Structure 1
Amino acid sequence: MPSTVQAESTNTTTTRMVHPLLQQFQQLFFVSKLVGILPQDLEKFRSKNVLEKSRNGAFYMVFTLIIYIILYNLLIYSFGEEDRTLKASQSTLTFVIGLFLTYIGLIMMATDQLTALRNQGQLGDLYDRILAVDERLFREQCVVDNSHISGRIKIMLIMTFFFEISILIATYIKLVDYTQWMSVLWVVSAVPTFINTLDKIWFAVSLYALKERFEAINTTLEELVATHEKFKAWLSGGDPYMDDSHSLDSSQPPPQYDSNLEYLYKELGGLDMGSLKGSGRNKVAPVAHSMNSFGESVQTGQKPQMNPMTVNMAHESELSNATKVEEKLNNLCQVHDEVCEIGKAMNELWSYPILSLMAYGFLIFTAQLYFLYCATQAQSIPSLFRSAKNPIITVIALSYTSGKCIYLIYLSWKTSLASKRTGISLHKCGVVADDNLLYEIVNHLSLKLLNHSVDFSACGFFTLDMETLYGVSGGITSYLIILIQFNLAAQQAKDAIQTFNSFNDTAGLMGAATEMGNESSTTTILYDLMTTTMMTPID
């Protein structure tokens, strides 16, 4: 009965000390709820910091999606005057690209909202699993700090508003005829990218939280290694606190311990004086402390000023006892597996939105540069891409779009590397301990880690890593060159046709003039012949 009460008290303390990750998502949730990205219940999140399904929230999301689609099509119709003459004035390639890319932003937005509507129940379970992982890490004395998550969310929101407002206002002032009242619909052009960015902030922050938990596990294992190295240095007569401010002089010999004080050592650290005999491995070291408290004479001139009651203690390393550390290593590896499973579940929830974002980024980046080239050649471009007429607005828009894609790829890559580095940190424990039993434990656990690595992909089409980023950059360059070459060929063919038509018109005019000249000469000859005949006297 007392053990049960103690266990319940421990769980209550753990729950109090571990704060849910969703507690840092307050501002992001309210903004996302307002624009219609999340269908979860608002009151449950405000009171309990949980994401629960809501029928009213689902209806509100569907309603906002329909409104956005209507307004977006109205925007295309209102600003489509020059689009209707684009095919006749420019090449068919430019017309087809503009027609396809006009709706890709709307498709991306609809993918984000419909995916969030489908995954509204699984998303809440995902953050509950993260909370359970934090509680298990806390029991292993591995605390994850979530306080800086809120600051990252604020920075992302500020950057999102800055880019969206900058692009919208600059385009509206410089490239839109704001004297007409229908120009107000230009605000709708920023809705798809704004909603997509808010959705990707949820993914990016959650992914960063997983990376923090992988790094916390790795840091705990590294601390075990560092502690054991200090312990081995202490056993060999070295100074385990050589990096601390209260370090002793390395030239000073270790103090001689009196067997009459053995009971004091046991009271202080539960250490056995008999373990000092022999030089075997994994021996328990005595307590290193200031002997002034016990009346022994030591030299104090080489030591800094310390409180006489302070005891300088070298704790036993956990890695020196394989059976004792086995449970901790096993628990850390189990938590690592659970974080990997959470990462896989998160990848499945955002697989379609990530794929649509990467496709949007690739196409928009290529098309924006292509339309910038067309604008420099005084060619007409689609109305919704009129920002390409201004190089500064183009740079801001491309920085905004590419920044989202690059950051998600980079963060996915770093999270995957952090998950794989746990195996290296685990093997360091086995190497520094130099114990056969611990080697067997490490090898067994490292096989589990090898089979539970996590990689992030876009619906399995490609992996989100730096190699993919390099391939995408090369693809954008290649397709941009191809589009420019097709545009040059189309313009040359168009100029040739116009030259040929003008030549035909000139030749026709010259032929008509020649024919008229021939007809007038014939008439003159006939007239002269008739006049001469009539005026000749008849014999």
Structure 2
Amino acid sequence: MPSSEPEVQPLLQQFQQLFFISKIAGILPQDLEKFRSRNVLEKSRSGMVYMMVTLVVYVMFYNLLIYSFGEEDRSLKATQSTLTFVIGLFLTYIGLIMMGTDQLTALRNQGKLGELYERIRLADERLFKEKCVLDNSCIGRRIRIMLIMTVLFELSILVATYIKLVDYTQWMSVLWVMSAVPTFINTLDKIWFAVSLYALKERFEAINATLEELVMTHEKFKIWLRGESDNTTSLDSSQPPQYDSNLEYLYKELGGLDLGSMGKGSVAGSGKNKVAPVAHSMNSFGESIETASDKFPRNQMSSNLVYESELANVSKVEEKLNNLCQVHDEICEIGKAMNELWSYPILSLMAYGFLIFTAQLYFLYCATQTQPIPSLFRSAKNPLITVIVLSYTSGKCVYLIYLSWKTSLASKRTGITLHKCGVVADDNLLYEIVNHLSLKLLNHSVDFSACGFFTLDMETLYGVSGGITSYLIILIQFNLAAQQAKEAIQTFSSLNDTAGLVGSVTEMDNGSSTLHDLVSTTMLTPTTG
């Protein structure tokens, strides 16, 4: 009986460690036993209940954390500007909102997520049939590196803040651990998206590499044909080289050769400035043929070796190109489905990153001015901890944007490599096939966005960086205006108090003078009677 084992290794087999950690943290509701035995993601009622319980527990303890450390926040409005108070109040809950978005989205998409990875497995089998070999071991290494970096960042921020900025002599300070839960859960969820996106990029690059290999194989074939042609049409060294009369001007420019002096009886090599015809030294893509010849030495191109090229057989290569383009279309559809599954979590992460990056720098400025800041942002009091927090937050956002951009570029590069096949083959029928397939690829490009609000590419990253700078300057200006207004009010109040005190002293002096005059008048007036 034929074996029922899959031809390729499932991608989810590399997600073992990430799945177990995510399951314990309450991010994924899928069944644990089915994943462990068959590497599939299937719905689970117990997983849904466990995930809902963890979400409620996280929300309760996070609110308890806010209440326990809220004494500073309650006095913040009275001692600081209303702007700082409002920013702190809003950003206190944005981490909780981001965590809730991740978990609720995972609950909604628990069935679609398993279908997504099953589609990737089927696409891998089709690539395997077209001799596109994929190495998924790099996926496992990438996951382990991401998990290690996540733990290091979270622990360094948590421990440094707890030791330096939290009064750990009180038992309620243990709740500070809950401040790291939203970001940790969000990072685990984004590791799933980032690694899956990287897997799609690897598949696009495997298709591109296969097409590039077809081009290189055909160039080997052409070099071999040229070597065979040179061997069969080699000229006798005693015969003079034949020159094309149409290129007479070129020969004169190159060597000052007088072609009229070369008669039939002339002997090759008898002149001093004879120039032999020079073959074209560039291939169809502007690459040096000598470079390609260096890769395939002449001793390997003997008459005993026969090179074959699939591009030389149009009927054979047409099926291969069609299959590769169909798999490319399927991977593009998988990318679009993946973007839909993570659209809301990506939007919440980008909003969180933008706001937190701006607020952390603003609160760092407030700390340098000895102004009170919200309790959950006390990490801004220490510049080193602030650098770690900003590196951790911006690293997640920048990496997802960069990876989305590179995946989109890899999908669009397939059309270029496909046209290379048509150009190097130099066959009209094959070029018509290439044109038809390239139009299909053009209509199935993939781009990643955050719920359609903006595209995840480097242009967006540039715009976000400019927005952070602009809003930070505006906040600092408002803070300066508020501080100046507060100082003016305090100065005015102190002047009023001084004026009132001077007025009281003046009235007392006037009263004393009146009393003195009255006593003097009474004493100097003679009595009658």
Alignment CA distance shift 1:312-1:369 (3 Å) = farther
Which letter does structure 2 place at the counterpart of 1:369?
Answer: L
Deviation at 1:324, TM superposition (A): 1.2
- Correspondence for 1:165 among 155, 167, 180: 155
- Kindly indicate whether residue 350 of structure 2 is the aligned counterpart of residue 358 of structure 1: yes
- Kindly indicate whether residue 449 of structure 2 is the aligned counterpart of residue 449 of structure 1: no
The equivalent residue for 1:216 is 206
Deviation at 1:187, TM superposition (A): 0.2
- Kindly indicate whether residue 497 of structure 2 is the aligned counterpart of residue 484 of structure 1: no
The equivalent residue for 1:120 is 110
**Deviations, residues 387-444 of structure 1 (Å, cap 9, x unaligned):** 0000000000100000000000000000000000000000000000111100110010
The equivalent residue for 1:458 is 450
The correspondence of residues 8-47 of structure 1 with structure 2, limited to 5 A, is: 12=3, 15-47=5-37
- Correspondence for 1:515 among 507, 510, 513: 507
Q: Describe the SS at the equivalent of 1:53.
A: coil
* Greater mean alpha carbon deviation, residues 524-533 or residues 504-513: 524-533
Distance 2:436 2:299 in 1: 45
Distance 2:122 2:457 in 1: 28
- Correspondence for 2:523 among 503, 508, 531: 531
Distance 1:168 1:533 in 2: 88
- Kindly indicate whether residue 152 of structure 2 is the aligned counterpart of residue 152 of structure 1: no
Distance 1:471 1:38 in 2: 33
Alignment CA distance shift 1:226-1:238 (3 Å) = farther
Aligned residues: CA RMSD: 1.9
- Kindly indicate whether residue 500 of structure 2 is the aligned counterpart of residue 500 of structure 1: no
The equivalent residue for 2:334 is 342
| Unpaired segments ≥5 residues, structure 1 | 240-251, 257-301, 305-309
**Deviations, residues 468-501 of structure 1 (Å, cap 9, x unaligned):** 0000000000000000000000000000000000
Which letter does structure 2 place at the counterpart of 1:487?
Answer: N
Contact conserved, 2:15 with 2:143, CA < 8 A, in 1?
A: yes
Which letter does structure 1 place at the counterpart of 2:306?
Answer: A
Distance 2:505 2:232 in 1: 121
- Kindly indicate whether residue 366 of structure 2 is the aligned counterpart of residue 396 of structure 1: no
Deviation at 1:527, TM superposition (A): 1.7
Which letter does structure 2 place at the counterpart of 1:469?
Answer: L
| Unpaired segments ≥5 residues, structure 2 | 235-297
Distance 1:254 1:176 in 2: 87
The percentage of counterpart residues that share the same residue type is: 80
The equivalent residue for 2:194 is 204
The equivalent residue for 1:421 is 413
The equivalent residue for 1:260 is none
The equivalent residue for 1:367 is 359
Distance 1:68 1:238 in 2: 75
Deviation at 1:314, TM superposition (A): 2.9
Distance 2:108 2:143 in 1: 24
Q: Describe the SS at the equivalent of 2:452.
A: coil
Q: TM-score, normalised by structure 1?
A: 0.84
- Correspondence for 1:179 among 166, 169, 174: 169
Deviation at 1:321, TM superposition (A): 1.3
Q: Describe the SS at the equivalent of 2:372.
A: coil
Distance 2:519 2:14 in 1: 106
Which letter does structure 2 place at the counterpart of 1:441?
Answer: I
Alignment CA distance shift 1:31-1:441 (3 Å) = same
- Kindly indicate whether residue 314 of structure 2 is the aligned counterpart of residue 322 of structure 1: yes
Deviation at 1:236, TM superposition (A): 1.4
Q: Describe the SS at the equivalent of 2:526.
A: helix
The correspondence of residues 26-105 of structure 1 with structure 2, limited to 5 A, is: 26-105=16-95
Q: Describe the SS at the equivalent of 1:461.
A: coil
Runs of 4+ with >2 A deviation: 252-256, 310-315
Alignment CA distance shift 1:255-1:137 (3 Å) = farther
**Deviations, residues 127-173 of structure 1 (Å, cap 9, x unaligned):** 00000000000000111110111110000000000000000000000
Contact conserved, 2:404 with 2:456, CA < 8 A, in 1?
A: yes
Distance 1:424 1:238 in 2: 31
Count the aligned residue pairs.
466
Distance 2:45 2:108 in 1: 12
Distance 1:142 1:396 in 2: 41
Deviation at 1:534, TM superposition (A): 3.0
